[in-house]
Amino acid sequence: MDPLTFVAAVAAVAVASGVLGAIFGLGGGIFLVPALTLYFGVNIRYAIGASLLAIIATSCGASAAFVRAHVANVRVGMFLELAAVLGALSGTVIAAFISARWLFIIFGLLMLYSIYPMVLRRAAPAAASGPADPLAVRLGLSGSYRERASESAVDYTVRRVRGGAAIMYGSGVISGLLGIGGGIFNVLAMVLTMGLPLKVGTATSSFMIGVIGAASAGVYFSRGLIHPLLAAPVVLGILAGARVGALIALRLPATTLRWLFLPVLAYIGTSMLLRGLP
Amino acid sequence: MNARPGFGIDALLSRILHYGGLVSAAVLLIGLLLLIPSRGVDRATIEQLRAPSVTDAAPLPTVALINGALHGQAVAVILVGMLLLMLTPVARVIAAGIYYARRRDRPFATIAILVVTLLIVGVLMGRLGVARSPSRTSRAAPELRLTL
């Protein structure tokens, strides 16, 4: 393929991945890596490297807004980043020692797993209530945010800090291994385990994903696995796509079209899995 | 107003993230547009992406990179954009660290220092081959072919 055509085609696929990622609330990487590897024949390690950069870019834009609106909890984010960045570095080491085939298998399984919380999306997890973790009190992690609809401040306390940090470590491993943001696991750690409100958990996750991605990207970049001719169209395409996707998501009848996309997710996940199986 | 401690940090961090993302995206876009007239992109560079086994590249030639970017070479400009993008989250951790240190918030200043240290460790890991599989480092590593 002519190099310029290749770059243009990659940009187009990245736009589509960004749109889908924003509609699903999964981030663009989960569609981008399969598209690049299965349909363009790009080596999965380069695909992961490019995806990491795209994650940083989307996180910068989204979290700037969340932080400005005081929805993201910066203290919780900074604290958990420590565990997640450690995880990301571990993930890059694991990635270097396992074969590409295993990367496909793990990616496929994770994609299939991500369908599950989407099916349950309507039943938004209720923030667990209860006494604050003494460690959270000592670190001053509790916070409050303003509900836009009611204009009232919602106070919350933070629980099970150690458990949350352990899950964030795992989320970092996945980021370093597969080049995706791991937002589902971040929300699992912060909302279901630590009891942050869903809004705060999602915003703080987006805030952290940039740093987690930067940790993995640092390793991939210095290994020469972030290729400029792949990364540039991927980053710009996903940024543009995510913007369009967010607009579409606002207008979508919340559940109907999402349900239509579930088979797509299942199909891509299975394809990735099969690609890794002998 | 909100009583959360350290609220002033939000405006600072959000600005860094916003402008960091914006500037790096703009540089990447300029680099991509420069590709069109240059037409000099090596076909082998694209083929390399499809190779069944990846090749660990030699460290980037920093001087050649900056020189290339100043001369408007597309790939060099893209690389600068990539570096700016990767440094944006790092800059926000450093800014937060300084903010907490000034407020004598010892635990969080320490956390920021540790995170930055880990980010540097990551780059060193890639360079020194800790995060490379033994089979791949032992092979002679051809350079990433850049048309610098």
For A117-150, what is each residue's pLDDT tens digit?
666 554 455 555 667 787 887 787 887 777 766 6
Contact by Cβ (8 Å): A191, A167: no
Q: What is the mean pLDDT of residues B7-33?
A: 91
Q: How far apart are CA B110 and CA B20, in angstroms?
A: 24
Whose tokens are 């918030």? That residue is B105
Strands in A98-207 per DSSP E:
143-146, 153-156
pLDDT attached to residue A149: 61
pLDDT attached to residue B55: 58
Strands in chain A per DSSP E:
143-146, 153-156
CA A223 distance to own-chain centroid: 22
Contact by Cβ (8 Å): B28, A232: yes
Q: Label residue A21 by pLDDT band (50, 70, 90).
A: confident
pLDDT tens digits, one per residue of A172-218: 999 999 998 888 788 888 888 888 888 888 889 999 999 999 999 99
Residue A255 burial (CB count, 10 A): 10
pLDDT attached to residue A202: 87
Q: How far apart are CA A42 and CA A237, in angstroms?
A: 17
pLDDT attached to residue B142: 38
Selection from A77, A179, A61 nearest residue B9 by Cα: A77
CA distance A259 to chain B (A): 33
CA distance A253 to chain B (A): 30
Whose tokens are 């912060």? That residue is A190
pLDDT tens digits, one per residue of A65-123: 889 888 889 999 999 999 999 999 999 999 988 999 999 999 999 888 877 766 655 44
Percent of chain B's residues with pLDDT above 90: 40
Q: What is the mean pLDDT of residues B80-100?
A: 94
User: Is B88 in the A-facing interface, judged by CB distances under 8 Å?
Assistant: yes
User: Is B94 in the A-facing interface, judged by CB distances under 8 Å?
Assistant: no
Contact by Cβ (8 Å): A17, A32: yes
Best to test chain A binding among B9, B36, B118 (most A CBs inside 10 Å):
B118
User: Is B145 in the A-facing interface, judged by CB distances under 8 Å?
Assistant: no
Eight-state DSSP code of residue A154: E
CB-nearest to B78 from A222, A228, A239 is A228
Contact by Cβ (8 Å): A107, B140: no
Identify all chain B residues contacting A215, using CB atoms and an 8 Å cutoff.
118-119, 122
Selection from B63, B47, B43 nearest residue B55 by Cα: B47
Eight-state DSSP code of residue B52: S
pLDDT attached to residue B141: 36
CB-nearest to A230 from B3, B14, B49 is B49
Interface contact A74-B146, CB threshold 8 A: no
Interface contact A214-B89, CB threshold 8 A: yes
Interface contact A97-B121, CB threshold 8 A: no
Interface contact A68-B10, CB threshold 8 A: yes
Contacts of A76 (CB under 8 A, 6+ apart): A141, A143, A158, A190, A194, A196, A204
Selection from B75, B55, B56, B54 nearest residue B64 by Cα: B75
Strands in A77-197 per DSSP E:
143-146, 153-156
Q: Label residue B61 by pLDDT band (50, 70, 90).
A: low
- The residue ranking higher by pLDDT, A272 or A116, is A272
Interface contact A235-B86, CB threshold 8 A: no
The dihedral of CA A70, A241, A26, A7: what is its sign?
Answer: negative
Q: What is the mean pLDDT of residues A49-77?
A: 91
pLDDT attached to residue A126: 55
Interface contact A61-B29, CB threshold 8 A: no
- The residue ranking higher by pLDDT, B37 or B23, is B23
pLDDT tens digits, one per residue of B92-134: 999 999 999 999 999 999 999 999 999 999 988 887 776 565 4
Residue A165 burial (CB count, 10 A): 20
Contact by Cβ (8 Å): A111, A30: yes
pLDDT tens digits, one per residue of A208-266: 999 999 999 999 998 888 888 899 999 999 999 988 888 887 777 656 666 777 888 89
Selection from A218, A183, A184 nearest residue A59 by Cα: A183
Interface contact B49-A42, CB threshold 8 A: yes
Please indicate, yes or no, whether the overall pTM of this predicted structure exceeds 0.90. Answer: no
Q: In the numeric block, which tokens belong to residue A216?
A: 């993995």
Residue B14 has pLDDT above 70, yes or no: yes
Interface contact B36-A4, CB threshold 8 A: yes
CB-nearest to A53 from B17, B52, B82 is B82
Q: In the numeric block, which tokens belong to residue A90?
A: 């571990």
CA distance A122 to chain B (A): 30
